[in-house]
Structure 1
């Protein structure tokens, strides 16, 4: 093993240790944070959540995150078993003996690894999604029926993945060392579709309907005029089923702009709260968040695919993972099936630190949208809207911020509410500071004016006294001259 391979092996072990230790520490901190807030329901949710429901959610969250910790430990164990345990080398040797070293071997390895990982994940998924939910009364489906349905979904998902995976591996095999360029183009196209094109198509589709005339539309029109969006149309529609998040969107196409409010927002919120939701959607466009997301994610994808392509050609990379290089890159040709297996089994563990960077970026944009809405309509309507639109009351309402950062791309509603209130406090403080600065400036100007008037008055008084003194001297000289003439 070369020096580079030895260093990478040590780094790989350290990253797995980091993955396990951080997961464990965050789980402990989340449990403690939930228990610390078990006796008080957050103020924004007291009208909708009782103390008993709050405590039940905390107990439920504790069990769920412990099951997640078990899944993380199993994932780390599988990564170690496939690498330092010799799993990849054994599989490569066995598949090569059966299928040779061609495309069939690559496809077999990729499909086998994906199927094994799905089987390992199945009992963990059963425990988290069925057993815990059943214990807390969230799952009413009989166990046998749930298992049959889950197995069907597993097999259907794997069977639908198989032809796609085969097509991807064929393209990678034919593209040779330029495969990563095709992967990057596909990734960039998906991000452009998901972030930029799909919202425009949905926002201008026939599913949208013009909002009825009334006080709400007048209020939204006034808000749009305030933000220099005078010609924006206001429409409503049901949120697409494929969207897990989203309450409103502002879309622009061919010089036209349209604000779309989803129906569930209209059903749950009051007018000023709907305006707060609309302000968030407008802030996403006015602050160029979509462009920022595209640049960030395409940049991250470019770095990942280029790095993987670079490492895939190096024998020391496979040696660092305890994979026999002669089996990994026979005759100097890359093995796309092995790369796929590494991506799904090892990369999520090794690149776990990148999760914090990605989540911090996406959450920063969400906080910025809320800050924009606070500046437009104030924090109170936004806080009420966030609380009313929240529907996940089975999980804890007091999550640890670091655990949330590591596991959720979007900030929890409690953190959003706290951030919105802090933004308003900061704005008030800045306004008060600006007022105080203006008052100090005015006081300074007033004092300077008084000082100038005092100096001017003193100068006039001095001039007057000098004039009187000169007159007295002239009178005295005149008397002295007259007296002298009389004596003469």
Structure 2
């Protein structure tokens, strides 16, 4: 048993190290690519993008990539602390002082771990996803709006986890030695649900959009886009998603090779 536990621990640590090495390699490649192109504006954008704006975008790419790399290290460090660092043991020992029921302790352990993950990730996530964009002028939300939205999403996800994790643990308890089959089935159901949900959202999104029938407006927009190097294939109007604070213009036509 001890040999198996040691093997699992070693495999886990090796996996974490490989994950971090891959993240470092990909981040380095992204930064190198951004720095190599910083000296000149990409071909085709000379008349649309200034060199200063291009350098600003490259600097943002570098800082954003490094911030996300820090997030990866924070997540890996938390995982190592909770496993090989006996974080789960400390939390479980505390929870056992509150309840003698094993199933309740296991459920509370999942809930507390998820809450700790949110608390650890929040300040670093704020820096990576908000502060960097704000510093470069790419963030449209205020700090209060971003924080309120992030906390709302996190609280909703954590709240949804409470009954679902309790149900999953109860099913695993009933399954006995076949608990892994229950977890596997739950994972497949989740994947299927995400897949079907994306299809349903696509259908609803399509139904919420319709072509613009006004020929004069279509001609006006087509001429405007053509003057800026774009060829319009279609022009539609759709219902604004509830999460959007303002309406947006979405350009999905490929850029013209002319000019």
TM > 0.5: yes
Q: Residues 63-142 of structure 1 correspond to what in structure 2 (within 5 A)? A: 63-139=63-139
1:187 matched to 2:194? The reply is no
Partner of 2:159: 159
CA contact (8 A) 1:40 1:51 kept: yes
Residue 196 (structure 1) shift: 4.2
Q: Residues 451-462 of structure 1 correspond to what in structure 2 (within 5 A)? A: none
Pair 1:6–1:140, CA change in 2 (3 A)? closer
Q: Residues 170-209 of structure 1 correspond to what in structure 2 (within 5 A)? A: 170-176=170-176, 177=179, 178-180=181-183, 182-200=185-203, 202-203=205-206, 205=207, 207-209=208-210
Whole-angstrom CA distance in 2 between matches of 1:57 and 1:122 = 25
Residue 10 (structure 1) shift: 2.5
Partner of 2:17: 17
Residue 112 (structure 1) shift: 0.3
Residue 118 (structure 1) shift: 0.3
Residue 97 (structure 1) shift: 3.6
Residue 52 (structure 1) shift: 0.9
Whole-angstrom CA distance in 1 between matches of 2:195 and 2:149 = 34
Q: Report the TM-score, using the length of structure 1 for normalisation.
A: 0.41
Whole-angstrom CA distance in 2 between matches of 1:181 and 1:75 = 24
CA contact (8 A) 1:107 1:166 kept: yes
Q: Deviations over 1:306-326 (max 9, x none)?
A: xxxxxxxxxxxxxxxxxxxxx
Pair 1:383–1:147, CA change in 2 (3 A)? closer
Residue 31 (structure 1) shift: 1.7
CA contact (8 A) 1:44 1:383 kept: no
Please give the secondary structure, in 2, of the residue aligned with 1:32.
helix
Pair 1:80–1:242, CA change in 2 (3 A)? farther
Please give the secondary structure, in 1, of the residue aligned with 2:41.
coil
Deviates more, 1:153-162 or 1:90-99: 153-162
Q: Choose between structure 1 and 2: higher helix proportion.
A: 1
Whole-angstrom CA distance in 2 between matches of 1:151 and 1:115 = 12
1:61 matched to 2:61? The reply is yes
Whole-angstrom CA distance in 2 between matches of 1:44 and 1:173 = 62
Residue 213 (structure 1) shift: 8.9
Partner of 1:43: 43
Pair 1:93–1:17, CA change in 2 (3 A)? same
Pair 1:34–1:242, CA change in 2 (3 A)? farther
Residue 4 (structure 1) shift: 3.9
Whole-angstrom CA distance in 1 between matches of 2:202 and 2:114 = 32
Whole-angstrom CA distance in 2 between matches of 1:198 and 1:147 = 26
Residue 122 (structure 1) shift: 0.8
Q: Deviations over 1:335-388 (max 9, x none)?
A: xxxxxxxxxxxxxxxxxxxxxxxxxxxxxxxxxxxxxxxxxxxxxxx4549xxx
Whole-angstrom CA distance in 1 between matches of 2:107 and 2:188 = 22
Whole-angstrom CA distance in 2 between matches of 1:25 and 1:169 = 38
Whole-angstrom CA distance in 2 between matches of 1:68 and 1:51 = 26
Residue 56 (structure 1) shift: 0.4
**Structure 2: gaps (5+ residues):** 219-233
CA contact (8 A) 1:208 1:235 kept: no
Pair 1:171–1:264, CA change in 2 (3 A)? farther
Residue 48 (structure 1) shift: 3.0
Pair 1:188–1:242, CA change in 2 (3 A)? farther
CA contact (8 A) 1:60 1:132 kept: yes
Pair 1:196–1:141, CA change in 2 (3 A)? closer
Q: Report the TM-score, using the length of structure 2 for normalisation.
A: 0.72
CA contact (8 A) 1:63 1:132 kept: yes
Q: Deviations over 1:49-104 (max 9, x none)?
A: 22111100111111111111111111111111111111122222332342224332
**Structure 1: gaps (5+ residues):** 217-233, 245-262, 274-381, 386-488
CA contact (8 A) 1:238 1:264 kept: no
Residue 113 (structure 1) shift: 0.4
Pair 1:25–1:88, CA change in 2 (3 A)? same
Deviates more, 1:193-202 or 1:8-17: 193-202
CA contact (8 A) 2:211 2:236 kept: yes
Q: Residues 339-354 of structure 1 correspond to what in structure 2 (within 5 A)? A: none
Structure with the larger RCO, 1 or 2 (CA within 8 Å, 6+ apart): 1
Partner of 2:228: none
